[in-house]
Amino acid sequence: MCIFTVKDEQLQVLLTKRGHFPKKNQWALPGGFIDQSKDKNLDETAFRKLREKTGVASPYLEQVATIGGSKRDPRGWALTVLYFALIPHEDTELKVDASSLEVSWVPVNHAMSLKLAFDHNELLKLSKERLRSKVLYTSLPVHLLNETFTLPLLQKTYEIILNTPLQKKSFRKRFLDAGIIEETGEKEPGVSKPALLYRLVDSNKVHVFPRTLESAT
């Protein structure tokens, strides 16, 4: 599973350092097996593993791909159902389980430069590409933020994922015209020129915009 967050103004992914062979001491994407006594379907498995690793349930979880092969794992034929999740960084409480030596948030660009266990570099690449493609025409990045947020912070989150500046006026109009966010009646605390705080009208829905985003360059 690729668990994404935004931390220190960078898109980051959760990695675990494997505590057992094969690939002991190598960084890897977190994962796990289906528990037939607990999981009714694959989504429940993914949500359960996410809670076990971070202490939170993602407001957004998406199945990316199914990958299988006889050479992916030295122990034999392996099948992976790949998901990505988006979570606000402030909500997380990272947990080290019996299978891991360490867990850490790692900037995605750095993570992709590491030699991850098995074929996890390719899984990370697939997840990043899926996220970036969907960000161009959906409201997905809202799920990386807290329940209330400012429009400048939302725009910055989009820019971090896409690695490009966006036009402030058109970005603001895009969200306000769609009617998917609403003012809370409060302002950003602790700053000299506080911005208005907004929240999603329906936190369980991902909005699809009629047009893709355009950069400011």
Reduced to 3 states (helix: H, G, I; strand: E, B; else coil), residue 10 is strand
CATH of domain 140-200: 1.10.10.10
Looking at residue 139, its amino acid is S
Residue 217 confidence (pLDDT)? 65
Whether 2-135 and 140-200 share one fold: the answer is no
* Integer Cα distance of 167 and 80 in angstroms: 39
Kind and range of the H or E element at 17?
strand 10-18
184 contacts 201 by C-beta, under 8 angstroms: no
Residues in the chain, pLDDT under 50: none
Q: Look at the alpha carbons of 91, 121, 65, 37 in this order and tell me if their dihedral is positive or negative.
A: negative
Q: Assign residue 63 a region: left if phi > 0, alpha if psi is -120 to 50, beta otherwise?
A: beta
Length of the chain: 217
Q: How far apart are CA 174 and CA 139, in angstroms?
A: 10
CA–CA distance, 161 with 210 (Å, rounded to integer): 20
Give residue 48's Cα distance to chain centre: 16
- pLDDT for 5: 96
* Domain 2-135, CATH: 3.90.79.10
Of 161, 137, 139, 163, nearest to 151 (Cα)?
139
- Spatial separation of the C-alpha atoms in residues 63 and 134, rounded to whole Å: 13
Please give the mean pLDDT across all residues of the chain.
92
Residue 89, C-beta contacts closer than 8 angstroms, at least 6 positions apart: 5, 6, 7, 12, 105, 144
Q: Which single residue is written with the structure tokens 């609403």?
A: 182
In the structure encoding, which two tokens stand for residue 50, read together?
């996410």
* Rounded-to-integer distance, Cα 86 and Cα 88, Å: 7
Largest CA distance in the chain: 59
Give the residue extent of every domain in the chain: 2-135, 140-200
Sign of CA dihedral 143, 1, 120, 64: negative
